[in-house]
Chains A and B, each alone.
Chain A
Amino acid sequence: MNKPVAREPLNLLWLQSGGCGGCTLSLLNADCRNLFDTLAGFGIRLLWHPALSEASADEALRIIDDCASGATRLDILCLEGAVLRGPHGSGGFHRDNHESMMARVERLARVARHTVAIGSCAAFGGITAAGHNPTDACGLQFDGDAHGGLLGDEYRGSGGLPVINIAGCPVHPNWVIETLAILAAGGLDERGLDTFRRPRLYADHLVHHGCTRNEFYEFKASANKPSDLGCLMENLGCKGTQAHADCNIRTWNGEGSCVRGGYACISCTEPGFEEPGHPFSETPKLGGIPIGLPSDMPKAWFVALATLSKSATPKRVKENAQADHQVVAPAVKRTVRK
């Protein structure tokens, strides 16, 4: 399946709805010579993008309508932002002179070879669905963690795949570029997607992998306030040991990531992250133990190891954890036997 039409570029149409546009802005951070050339190099032709293309108003609507009618082959439909179903199922919270965006997206998804949700809003509803979800926002094929969304659980693009959920708030630029590249090369099938249909190329990692605070984590030497160097899990709400993404392996904007920026991972690639049930910057605990244990870790072992490691914390790690700069440097030690 998914064999590209012989050497013809794949037509990509990008639409935005109930979101902030931040996934596009993040995409422009891509560390490549030129994003447009990069996509073209993978055999992707950008038919239209709301922030980047020349065509506006009627010109743009013609491009979109030609896709819907089949006059232009729609190979990849990308939606950034949630689908706004309200008020009362009308889609009226995002409607122009012609139709609601909800109707337009559905029309296009029915003819698209592949449909891709860009960001957690398009995938699951995301931030736009927070609170009591005033706009009845949902994702393309999920409503939070429930299957369905706008298109329904049975939906498959004509290429045979369900909606591909490049979740994240925002997405990392290379999650998008690499997923599109593999898709364009015909290399993506359902085995490449995880249980929430996120590309496993980034979702099979935990944010914890590559975390620069790892030594603090090992010894449960924890930060108490923003700017402390210690581990953010015990007190400041960090979900990096459970969140699926490779943010500390590939990093953001050069050498950054949330935890490297001094603040908690809020698990933004996960459906429902927008309503965690506790203040984002506080770790919910039961009997002094964080409720959210690291993925795949039995509770008894976590408690035992945490207790042991806390009692074995070196003075250096303990003191640095609650300082905003290193107050004790690592001891200099010869590792070479003479």
Chain B
Amino acid sequence: MTRRVVVGPFNRVEGDLEVALDITNGRVRAAYVNSLMYRGFEQILRDKHPLDALVYVPRICGICSVAQSAAAAQALARAMNLTPPENGRWAANLTLAAENIADHLSHFYLFFMPDFARDCYRARPWHEAAAARFKAVSGNAAADFLPARARFMNVMGYLAGKWPHTLSLQPGGSSRPLEAAEIVRLSLLLAEFRAFLERTLFGDKLENVAVLDSEAALLAWMEPRAASADLPHFLAIAHDLELHKLGRATDRFMSYGAYDEAEGRLFPSGFWENGAVHTLNVAAIREDVSHSWMEGDVALAPEHGVTLPRPDKADAYSWCKAPRLGGNVVETGALARQLIAGHPLARDLVERHGGNVTARVVARLLEVACVLPVMETWVRRIRPGEPFCHAATALEDASSVGMVEAARGSLGHWLEVRQGKIHNYQIIAPTTWNFSPRDTTGEPGALEQALVNTPAVERDGNAPVAVQHVVRSFDPCMVCTVH
């Protein structure tokens, strides 16, 4: 017998989310993901001065704010045919990397781990320690993490004026030139944060984490540290609960590529399918709206996209559109990024079990261990006295796209300017991909697929905890999803 339960509103998902589950014999048979809120940024941006996008788009999202800025700055730079000077590039990379790292850790400490402190796990041998460490609000991990995070975010004071919602990322580079003394202070802040990561999160040097190359190496590394550092602590819990068997989606992954270097990007773009990386064909992106409360019948390319609400649409169940790549449902995020960048640990985890809850969490923290040392090199490459920013040029008619990686995955801004004003601005956010509803063919989105077969045992009238793990493993950002 199948019954329908509506789980929501979810919290600790950065925004508003509800999931309808069809449950048969204690397992999810089908899931329907509803992004609950529509604000209308695409409508708001119409007819604005092109540079005004830099004010509006970061305010789509308080947690991916810089990623939104970076996508807009890149779209504008391409339209203006501008290449930021080297200093501007390093400053922009540092700003985005700081946000992404802070987001990965906020997800881990504040959004994801508190579920293991739940009473439903009280019979597990690890529960007491997990509850003391990770309980929401009162756990001692938050007491360690929050001041470390706040201190780390002081890099934003130097790089971006403030976070969230900076205007420092400009099409011509960064509006914030750095002096030699400030570069020293940035280095000190990175060193302090490295110490927190090595002592508290990993219990090991970042470099030793970054070279872990297989599931076996990861588990061997975890054993001696499980009682003393937070990632090994999680791995021990995940091993016991077999979270690697939970939350498998389509096993197709996409990344736009992250962090501009002199040549190419630190993590390259690509599309991963059947064990191999392929070139990403951006022209194959379409947004299906068959199950969205949105105007339209046919799936449009985002450069021709339309975002107009139609709240009474039959068969629709979410404000979220359904982006597809060559008709395929794809998953995006840190796991996709590291898989496509060829990290052996990410590859091994996916080759063994497909995309799953453990792999998504591991990939995020692995990325932290890989990126912080690169940030240290970017800081050293900044040359005070050399330019940080070129002047913007006027735009009359142009179309372009900005594609970046937010912490939680691929973010694209498609911009069209006519007669000096924004004629069309379309945004596809990471969680739009991951949490999309069904498309015209009836194929469910990535989370909807990942939830199928998840144990759905409700205790004490609470939402099934395994469902919560799967949902949060994607590090969803619902305010970006619909915007």
Report which A residues bind B (CB closer than 8 A): 16-26, 28-37, 46, 48-61, 84, 87, 92-97, 101, 127-128, 130-132, 134-135, 137, 169-170, 224-227, 229, 251-264, 266, 268, 279-282, 324-325
Q: Contacts A20-B65, A96-B18, A324-B388 known; A25 to B164 CB distance under 8 Å? A: yes
A132 to B42, CA, bound (A): 11
Contacts of B111-168 to chain A: CB distance below 8 A: 111, 114-115, 117-118, 135-138, 142-143, 146-147, 149-150, 153-158, 160-168
Q: A225 vs B59: C-alpha distance in the bound complex, in angstroms?
A: 23
Q: Are B8 and A253 in contact (CB under 8 A)?
A: no
| Chain A proximity of B7: nearest CB distance (Å) | 5
Q: Digitize B33-70: 1 where CB-to-A-CB distance is under 8 Å, 0 elsewhere.
A: 00011111001111011011011100111110100000
Q: Which residue of A lies closest to B49 (CB)?
A: A279
Q: By the criterion CB–CB under 8 Å, are B8 and A96 in contact? A: yes
User: In the bound complex, how far is the Cα of B135 from the Cα of A46, in angstroms?
Assistant: 14
Whether B10 sits at the interface, judged by CB under 8 Å, is yes
Of the candidates B6, B14, B118, B177, the one whose C-beta lies within 8 Å of that of A54 is B118
Interface assignment of B391: CB less than 8 Å from any CB of chain A? yes
A57-B55 CB under 8 A given contacts A29-B153, A30-B150: no
Partner of B385, one of A20, A46, A325: A325
B7 touches A262 (CB 8 A): no
Among B371-379, B404-412, B437-445, B460-468, the stretch that binds chain A is B460-468
> Which 5 residue pairs spanning A and B have beta carbons closest together?
A261-B161, A22-B62, A256-B157, A262-B175, A254-B154
Q: How long is the Cα–Cα vector from A282 to B384 in the complex, in angstroms?
A: 27
Q: Indicate if B27 sits at the interface (CB-CB under 8 A).
A: no
A169 to B59, CA, bound (A): 8
Q: A56-B11, A61-B9, A84-B38 are in contact. List 4 more A-B contacts (CB 8 A).
A: A253-B153, A253-B156, A253-B162, A281-B167
Contact among A22, A37, A226 for B165, CB-based, below 8 A? A22
| B170 and A226 within 8 A (CB) | yes
Cα distance A22–B126 when bound, in Å? Answer: 34
Q: Specify the main secondary structure of chain A where it touches its partner.
A: loop
Enumerate 16 A-B pairs (CB-CB under 8 Å) in ascending A order: A20-B62, A25-B62, A36-B143, A56-B10, A60-B11, A94-B37, A127-B44, A134-B44, A227-B176, A253-B162, A255-B157, A256-B154, A260-B157, A262-B174, A262-B175, A280-B51
Q: Out of B6, B36, B168, B463, which one reaches A56, CB within 8 Å?
A: B463
Across the two chains, which residue of chain A brings its CB closest to B37? A94
Are the CB atoms of A96 and B16 closer together than 8 Å? yes
- Is residue B355 within 8 Å, beta carbon to beta carbon, of the partner chain? no
Which residue of chain B is the closest to A255 with respect to CB atoms? Answer: B157
- Which of these, A52, A261, A325, contacts B168 with CB under 8 Å? A261
Q: Which residues on A sit within 8 Å (CB–CB) of B333?
A: none
Selected contact of B147 from candidates A17, A34, A263, CB within 8 Å: A34
Q: Is there an interface contact between A325 and B156, defined as CB atoms closer than 8 Å?
A: no
Whether the pair A256, B160 counts as a contact (CB closer than 8 A) is yes
Cβ contact within 8 Å between A28 and B106: yes
Q: Are B51 and A279 in contact (CB under 8 A)?
A: yes
B417 within 8 A of A: no
**B residues near A95, Cβ cutoff 8 Å:** 36
Complex Cα gap A16–B146 (Å): 21
User: How far is B362's CA from A181's CA once the two chains are assembled, in angstroms?
Assistant: 39
Q: Which residues of B contact A261 (CB under 8 A)?
A: 160-162, 166-168, 175-176
Q: Is the CB of B150 within 8 A of A225?
A: no
Q: Which residues of B contact A260 (CB under 8 A)?
A: 157, 161, 176
Q: Complex Cα distance A101/B319, Å? A: 15
Q: Is A263 touching B311 in the complex (CB atoms < 8 A)?
A: no
Q: How far apart are B183's CB and chain A's nearest CB, in angstroms?
A: 12
Q: Which residues of B have CB within 8 Å of A54? A: 114-115, 117-118, 135-137
Check A20 against B175 for contact (C-beta < 8 Å): no
- Are B39 and A135 touching (Cβ within 8 A)? yes
**A135-B52 contact in complex given A46-B137, A54-B114, A262-B168, C-beta closer than 8 Å:** no
